[in-house]
Structure 1
């Protein structure tokens, strides 16, 4: 279980304490506040706070008073226009703060998105829990033969069992030594800030991560993509569902233009025009590299 009984009791108490407010409220996000949604084997994502809703995007774009127009279709059209033409500042008017529990190696990949405010659990001050990410058998895969940063065929049989046993054994042994080194039980021991360096990258950490909607969409476009690493993708996919509840009009536009759309180069546009004119275009006559052509064909055939 990703949550202790004490943590769940705190969440239940927070959700039971409703207060009136004059600020913009998203009913969908109110239903999600504080709830811990499990991810992987010990992780979770929960929304701690948020600011703004779909009408806040429209209001900022029009620099108007109060909510958007009385016609939802007008607001939706404007939001889709803003998304379609890559406007950013109206989406920056909405913010959200997440509490995330995740493996350290996922956190180090995640922190590459430098457009958020982050405060992480301190292993200098506190002792980390004995919790490690151990992949499900279906995620134990060999190195891809065509992608230097991807996975290939899933391991099976004795090979899968061998790798899984090493992952579990090394994690437990490292934590045993971590505990043995700490300054506790009457021994002088090692300072926490030093003992932590012995822990593996699959140990779990936690942080508060606050960002605006524009930069959150950028994070989700990259990390919820099918090519993203599975362990960070499952976090992003869950966050997509939370954002869809929070700002449904903005998320629908994002899903259409960013997640479902593609960016085509000038060469790609020219190839499409030539194809529409009846010409049989090949990689050699397209002006594209082999990599560009492969990606083009994946989308347009």
Structure 2
């Protein structure tokens, strides 16, 4: 269970408090504020704070004193122009602070995005909770035979059952030993900063993660992609749903130009021009390597 009754009560109490403000408020984001969106078996994502909205992006681009006299349509058109031409700094005017509960191995992937501010739960000072990520049966898969960093067919029957039992047993045993090592019942007890080394990578940790919208879009482009690992992708998808309500114009432009768009090299563009003129272009006549040509065909096929 991701949230205890006490945590849910605390969230409801936070949502019940209101304050008058002169700053920009996003109605879509206000609906998400403090609410925990459950992810995986024990994880969640919740918004702690945010700054800005679609109008803040436009304000920064225009360097104006307020929202001005521009229409909503003009704001949307400006945002799409900024996204289309890779003008990133106006998007940096919006920020979001998230509280995330996630497995340690997902956190180690996530932390590679270094353009954010992070403060993680410390196992040096505190005792880790006995919570582990155990995949659902449909997410237990074999190694992919075509992608060294991906998974292939779903494991079934006795092999799947054996793997799940190993994950559960090893996780429990590791935590039992962790508790035994730090216990001060009849012994000094090992320091927490040392005992934590025995914990498995599927144990849950928590952190506060603050990032601007430009760098958040970069995170989502990579981690909400269908090729991303499932366990981090579901977090990215949960965040994306929040962002879509927070800055709808910016998110729609992001979907169109980043998630749904494609970047072509100069060589690829020349091939497109030749094809439009009616020429038959093959990999051998394209000037591309086999890998480049395969990716190019994938873009054309959609």
TM-score computed with the length of structure 2 as normaliser: 0.98
Q: Which moved more, 1:120-129 or 1:184-193?
A: 184-193
- Supply the distance in 1 between the matched residues of 2:61 and 2:266 (Cα, whole angstroms): 30
Superposition deviation, residue 122 in structure 1: 0.4
- Supply the distance in 1 between the matched residues of 2:292 and 2:203 (Cα, whole angstroms): 38
Name 2:276's counterpart in structure 1: 276
Name 1:167's counterpart in structure 2: 167
Q: Which moved more, 1:212-221 or 1:182-191?
A: 182-191
After TM superposition, the runs of 4+ consecutive aligned structure 1 residues lying more than 3 A away are: none
1:55–1:68 CA contact under 8 A, matched in 2? no
- Supply the distance in 2 between the matched residues of 1:216 and 1:78 (Cα, whole angstroms): 20
Deviations 1:207-227 (A, max 9, x none): 000010000000000100111
Figure out how many residues of one structure are paired with residues of the other and give that number: 301
- Supply the distance in 1 between the matched residues of 2:198 and 2:269 (Cα, whole angstroms): 52
Name 2:133's counterpart in structure 1: 133
Name 1:118's counterpart in structure 2: 118
Say which SS state the counterpart of residue 209 (structure 2) adopts.
strand
Pairing of 1:89-108 with structure 2 (within 5 A): 89-108=89-108
Pairing of 1:1-301 with structure 2 (within 5 A): 1-301=1-301
- Supply the distance in 1 between the matched residues of 2:289 and 2:186 (Cα, whole angstroms): 65
- Supply the distance in 1 between the matched residues of 2:27 and 2:88 (Cα, whole angstroms): 24
1:56–1:68 CA contact under 8 A, matched in 2? no
TM-score computed with the length of structure 1 as normaliser: 0.98
Q: Which moved more, 1:290-299 or 1:79-88?
A: 290-299
Structure 1, unmatched stretches of 5+, are: none
Report the RMSD for the aligned CA atoms in angstroms.
1.0
Deviations 1:139-177 (A, max 9, x none): 111111111111111111111111111111111110111
Superposition deviation, residue 183 in structure 1: 3.4
